[in-house]
Amino acid sequence: MMYISTRGQSPPRAFCDILLGGLAPDGGLYLPEAYPQVTRAELDAWRALPYHALALRVLEKFITDIPACDLKAIVVRTYTAQTYRWCRPGRDASDITPLTTLEPGLHLLELSNGPTLAFKDMAMQLLGNLFEYVLEKRGESINILGATSGDTGSAAEYAMRGKRGVKVFMLSPHGLMSDFQRAQMYSLPDANIFNIAIRGMFDDCQDIVKSVSNDADFKARYRIGAVNSINWARVAAQVVYYFKGYFAATRSNDEQVAFAVPSGNFGNICAGHVARMMGLPVARLVLATNENDVLDEFFRSGVYRPRATAETRVTSSPSMDISKASNFERFAFDLAGRDAAVVREWWSSVDAGGSFDLRGTPYMARLPEFRFVSGTSSHADRLATIRAAWEKYGVLIDPHTADGLKVAQVHRELGEAGVPMVVLETAQPVKFAETIREALGREPGRPRELEGLEALPQRVEVMEADVGAVKAFIAARA
């Protein structure tokens, strides 16, 4: 299996060659040259597999340059009940992604039972093990530089902690994350993890990362890498749980399922799109945004209009606060019939701060084939949905999952009767205690092992928003 760029002007590469990088050299994103197909016989054989075995079946279709026995060892080591143990009481942690039925035909797929209590652990834990394996094979090392407003940074740190050949330098806005998120990251004792709190906003952190990455000499000299949401291996790892969720919500492979996905950078739902393209019987992909509705606007109107960073609203589902959806180009490539020249034309406008408009084009006519619907959710919707889920089902959900459930319910009222709806649970409520208090007037519970997390000693370097100072810090430790 080789990977090609959505912009069509970079040579095809193998999986391990795109694993450690970000964008393709031509500025595009990597995708498989063709989506591997899943036969009915395979679906039948996969239905009863435990998570790690299913993950191996799916991933070996995408990863053909790691020997089968090595890939198996990596996958088995990644998806253990021990790592994904923070499930709801009464659920089986060895399911890795247990399914909770809210009412007949409406389910919650728990994806947030990993070490940082957000779905990003599902892919990031695999990435940590893949990085270590490939770096060791090649006798190389890497220094990962990232910026986080919360979930991504902690997932990356917990995936990379203690890994040979890997150091992590993670920038976060000083004083702006929740106490829980801060404690999660800053209490890690591992010598290869460096937390840098920047006196500024998340955008200042991201600007520093960009300017360090644009310094080609520094980047090469200190082997600077990234683990951002456009990494193909993260998307591939996420494809697995769409299969798992499908099997859990159905009795036979004649049935169809709809998935509702709280979306920001289009990474999670992109994996759902890939699963459907492989042949998983997906009736509908329900995309939910918060007040930052760039993607909802596209799927309703055919106009993709990324916002200026300054226009991005700060909301109570902060991990979905995006101005443009970095993975959306992958879907656009398929919508364009995989014509890279068309994607280049669309993105020549996007990269210049503009938009593109598919109204009246053949692409608009093709859009329904891809089976997306979308909707938005507001702060008031979020609170009402958290309350309703608690009162009606006795299930506590986080603000992002509430956005997904809200849009799922709107679609269920309008949409395909009889098709089970699976809402992806993207984080646990304890990460966003303030909104839970506002909705319910009570504290979210937390896993017993995480009691007292905030009281642990913390390691963090507080710095001004100064590129030179960050570079000097890295140079002294890389």
Catalytic residue (choose from 61, 72, 120, 244): 120
Query: Between residues 319 and 409, which has the closer beta carbon with respect to ligand PLP?
Result: 319
Q: Which of 267, 375, 420, 444 binds ligand PLP (CB under 6 A)?
A: 267
Q: Does 200 bind ligand PLP (CB under 6 A)?
A: no
Residue 444 C-beta: closest distance to ligand PLP, Å:
14
Q: Does 406 bind ligand PLP (CB under 6 A)?
A: no
Q: Total number of residues binding ligand PLP (CB under 6 A)? A: 16
Q: Which of 265, 315, 316, 409 binds ligand PLP (CB under 6 A)?
A: 265
Residue 68 C-beta: closest distance to ligand PLP, Å:
29
Residue 344 C-beta: closest distance to ligand PLP, Å:
24
Instruction: Tell me which stretch binds ligand PLP (CB under 6 A): 98-106, 134-142, 263-271, 339-347.
Output: 263-271
Query: Between residues 174 and 330, which has the closer beta carbon with respect to ligand PLP?
Result: 330
Q: Give the contacts of 353 (CB within 8 A, at least 6 positions apart).
A: 306, 308
413-432 residues near ligand PLP, rule: CB under 6 A: 426-427
Residue 152 C-beta: closest distance to ligand PLP, Å:
7
Which has the closest alpha carbon to 424: 269, 264, 237, 233? 269
Active-site residue flag, 120? yes
Which has the closest alpha carbon to 95: 54, 48, 50? 50
Instruction: Tell me which stretch binds ligand PLP (CB under 6 A): 134-142, 258-266, 377-385, 468-476.
Output: 258-266
Q: Give the contacts of 145 (CB within 8 A, at least 6 positions apart).
A: 169, 170, 171, 209, 212, 213, 224, 225, 226, 474
Which has the closest alpha carbon to 380: 438, 337, 330? 438
- Can you read off the two tokens belonging to residue 43? 């679906």
- Return the residue matching tokens 């080609």: 216
Q: Which of 244, 400, 406, 411 binds ligand PLP (CB under 6 A)?
A: 400
Q: Give the contacts of 299 (CB within 8 A, at least 6 positions apart).
A: 287, 367, 372, 373, 374
Q: Give the contacts of 471 (CB within 8 A, at least 6 positions apart).
A: 212, 215, 218
292-331 residues near ligand PLP, rule: CB under 6 A: 319-320
C-beta separation of 283 from 256 below 8 A: yes
What is the helix (H) or strand (E) element at residue 361, kind and residue range?
A: none
Footprint of ligand PLP (CB under 6 A): 118, 120, 151, 229, 262-268, 319-320, 400, 426-427
Which active-site residues does the annotation give? 120
